Amino acid sequence: MRSSPFALPDRLLAPAPDPRRTAFLSRQPFAHRGLHGGGLCGGDAPENSLAAFDAAIAVGHGIECDVRLSRDGEVFVFHDDTLDRLTGETGPFAARAAREYDHILLANGEPVPRLSAMLALVAGRVPLLIEVKAPDRHVVPLCLAVRRALEGYRGPVAVMSFNPDVARWFALHAPRVTRGLVVSEEGKKGLRGRIERHLSLWRARPDFLACDVRDLPSRFAAAQRARGLAVLTWTVRRAEDEALARAYADQSIHERAP
């Protein structure tokens, strides 16, 4: 079999980590935004709520969550870039100050949680995956705020992002934090997409990948897994997705009943 032209630069520019850094990622499935009512797991808890995280802890699943910055630099657990879908308010998430979020409620009456509150709730009982929502080059404020929030936290935790600059920042400024690159091949199956994925990999220097289950089996994911990067897959919702996760990934990020 002819070797991929990306194999050598992958090894040199994005070396595989010590497997002990990522061993915790494969030990249990991760509940996507907690065990919430919007997925197939049922229940009334909104996504990325303390109630959804508590439900995941109760069944021993890891937790995947998303973080964003308020206008004044506080880290909150929230997926969307606007408030419209998940709260009774409208407008950009980043336009509101932290004190306002004490009064902006999710569907179950909880306020939008701070990352600090989520970390206090979990307290190392299950592993965490924190997806850093930083879509442009200005990643430093959010990455720095996440690193500060994690100071003194004792449980297993990793950060990840679609933006390779996030993992790169953690590699340079918080190298002890396990870091991942989130990957989707949607609309990028050709040569240009392959090149873009490898460029992102080299910039990010991740310890693991989080790949779209719809892309599996993936030549890119398989090559990185074969050389020692852990591969997670999202978002597992159906039995067919679970079969793909078992065959081609080390663990799933799911929205299924426990």
- Kindly state the percentage of the chain with pLDDT values over 70: 97
pLDDT tens, position by position, 48-58: 999 999 999 99
- Check residue 212 and give its pLDDT: 98
- Check residue 43 and give its pLDDT: 59
Indicate the domain borders of the chain: 21-254
232 Cβ partners below 8 Å, 6+ apart? 25, 30, 129, 180, 208, 209, 210, 211, 249, 250, 251, 252, 253
On the question of pLDDT at 149 being above 50, the answer is: yes
Which of 71, 121, 129, 57 minimizes the C-alpha distance to 100? Answer: 71
pLDDT tens, position by position, 55-88: 999 999 999 999 999 999 999 999 999 999 999 9
**Which alpha helices (DSSP H) does the chain contain, by range?**
7-13, 50-58, 115-122, 140-150, 164-173, 191-204, 219-226, 239-248
Decide: pTM greater than 0.85: yes
More reliable by pLDDT, 2 or 229: 229
Residues 102-125: what's their mean pLDDT?
97
- Check residue 39 and give its pLDDT: 54
On the question of pLDDT at 17 being above 90, the answer is: yes
Residues 37-52: what's their mean pLDDT?
79
Give CA–CA dist 165/138, Å, rounded. Answer: 9
Residues 224-246: what's their mean pLDDT?
98
On the question of pLDDT at 41 being above 60, the answer is: no
On the question of pLDDT at 172 being above 50, the answer is: yes
- Check residue 255 and give its pLDDT: 95
The single-letter DSSP state of residue 213 is G
Q: What does the mean pLDDT of the chain come to?
A: 95
Task: Looking at the structure, give the CATH architecture of the domain made up of residues 21-254.
Answer: Alpha-Beta Barrel (3.20)
Q: Quick one: pLDDT band at residue 135, thresholds 50, 70, 90?
A: confident
Phi and psi torsions of 50, nearest 5°: -60, -35
More reliable by pLDDT, 45 or 44: 45
Give CA–CA dist 228/96, Å, rounded. Answer: 42
Give CA–CA dist 63/97, Å, rounded. Answer: 26
- Check residue 38 and give its pLDDT: 62
On the question of pLDDT at 1 being above 50, the answer is: no
